[in-house]
Amino acid sequence: DVERRGPSMKNDLALIGVAKTFGPHVAVQDVSVDIAEGSFFSFLGPSGCGKTTILRMISGFIEPSAGSIRLGTLDLAGIVPNRRPTALIFQNLALFPLMSVAENIGYGLKVRGVSAAARGRKVDEMLDLIALSGFAGKRIEELSGGQRQRIAIARALAVEPKVLLLDEPLSALDLKLRQHMRAELRTLQRRAGITFIYITHDQGEALAMSDRVAVMSKGQIEQIGGSSDIYDNPGSAFVASFVGESNILVGRITATDGQFAVIETAVGDLRGRNPKHLTTGDAAMLFVRPERLRIAAAEDDLVVNSLTGDINEVMFEGLTFIITLRHVSSRLVTLSLANDGTGLAFAPGSRQTVSFSPADGLILPAGPIARL
């Protein structure tokens, strides 16, 4: 018996070669991904890349034009939304404003014919889960944005879905609350123990909460990985430019050795990692994060990857100082320095040399980059 409850019990969600076209327009193209049961998974990408279309296919509001979607061994094709083991939370939450908190949370159970007593037990359990015990009798209008968010999640979880789908649920909240809700959502996901699939164009949100992230562009998955992998080892110019900040230096490969290469750019020859094995003559881009640049102090620093220019602007951002440097080639280079509380001695106009370790320069094939 124990053996039979092995892999076949698993409720991993699999998209296999999924595509969606609207007339001549291809919204989603050949998307394949395995989403482990009980994980927090995000689809991240700019507006129009197909995220919502994927979510609507998983929830059953639209059917794929090609490919299949499975939960464990169950093929979801043809199953109407309210019979799927999924629940969807919309951007606007769609709570019932005139009903009490308890009525909202119990709503899905009521339409399924669950008795009042059983509903009451489930509502209490859900209120406990979202840490709002004692709120059962309140009206939605009396609640804060963050509390409404949690009620929407409780209402969705009350019907015990295997997968909870979240469509940019934090976008209506102010910045502070949004950041706070990231931690709350992650905690709720762990406690509920089910799969959360989250779509967002906000890379900070996706990276902060997810076990794994799929970065999308133009209807296709560009890269799937853990948050730090996506951030530290982007696989394409698009991902490197969309996720986090980067200085991007365009050029051509002039030499390679082992793991590294040299790229000739407008700011000089720069050395960086070459994970895609580009060869001499290839069009390439070097990406270096602002936090990986440092002010060159010792002579040693000047041997490789040094850039000299005049400080253009110094911006105080609390945790860091963001400094832009106008390279002698007139290119702007951005670096960020941690704020250690002792202030910063650099004034706009002063000449500085900055450098970075070759390990912190990432050279990738030249390609489309994400627009701001």
Residues that bind ligand ATP (CB under 6 A): 22, 25, 27, 45, 47-53, 201
- Output the smallest distance, CB 316 to ligand ATP, in A: 32
- Output the smallest distance, CB 109 to ligand ATP, in A: 30
- Output the smallest distance, CB 67 to ligand ATP, in A: 15
Of the pair 27, 153, the CB lying nearest ligand ATP is at 27
- Output the smallest distance, CB 66 to ligand ATP, in A: 15
Taking each helix axis from N to C end, the angle separating 175-192 and 145-158, rounded to the nearest 10 degrees, works out to 20
- Output the smallest distance, CB 21 to ligand ATP, in A: 9
- Output the smallest distance, CB 43 to ligand ATP, in A: 8
Closest listed residue to residue 144, CA positions, set 106, 93, 108 = 93
CA-CA distances (angstroms) from residue 231 to 39, 73, 244?
Answer: 19, 33, 7
Of the pair 45, 60, the CB lying nearest ligand ATP is at 45
Of the pair 53, 334, the CB lying nearest ligand ATP is at 53
Of the pair 90, 316, the CB lying nearest ligand ATP is at 90
Of the pair 52, 246, the CB lying nearest ligand ATP is at 52
Distant-in-sequence, close-in-space partners of 314: CB < 8 Å, separation ≥ 6: 321, 322, 323, 344, 346, 347, 348
Of the pair 4, 25, the CB lying nearest ligand ATP is at 25
